[in-house]
Amino acid sequence: MPTTTLRELNGLDETPASLAEATLILIDYQNTYTRGVMELAGWQAALDSAAALLARARAAGAKVVHVVNDGGEGTPYDIRAEIGRIHPSVAPAEGEPVVVKRTPDAFHGTDLDRHVDAAGHEDVIVAGFMTHMCVAFTAAGAFLRGNRPTVVADACATRPLRAAGTELSAEHVHHGALATIADLYGVVVATGESLR
pLDDT digits (tens, 9 = 90+) for 7-17: 999 999 999 99
Pick the catalytic residue: 126, 134, 177, 195? Answer: 134
134 catalytic per annotation: yes
- Evaluate if residue 1 carries a pLDDT over 90: no
Check whether 178 has a pLDDT greater than 90: yes
Question: How far is Cα 161 from Cα 69, in angstroms, rounded to an integer?
Answer: 20
Query: Per DSSP, what are the bridge partners of residue 83?
Result: none
Which residues pair with residue 127 across a beta bridge?
26
175: number of Cβ within 10 Å: 16
Confidence tier at 3 by pLDDT (50, 70, 90): confident
So what CATH class is 17-191?
alpha beta
Please determine, for residue 150, whether its predicted confidence score (pLDDT) is greater than 80: yes
Q: What is the mean pLDDT of the chain?
A: 97
Q: What's the confidence (pLDDT) of residue 119?
A: 96
Rounded to an integer, what distance in angstroms lies between the CA atom of residue 142 and that of residue 170?
24
Look at residue 2 and tell me whether its pLDDT is greater than 90.
no
Maximum Cα interatomic distance, the chain, rounded to a whole number of Å: 50
The dihedrals phi and psi of 136, each to the nearest 5 degrees, come to: -65, -45
Q: Name the nearest CA neighbour of 105 among 65, 133, 70.
A: 133
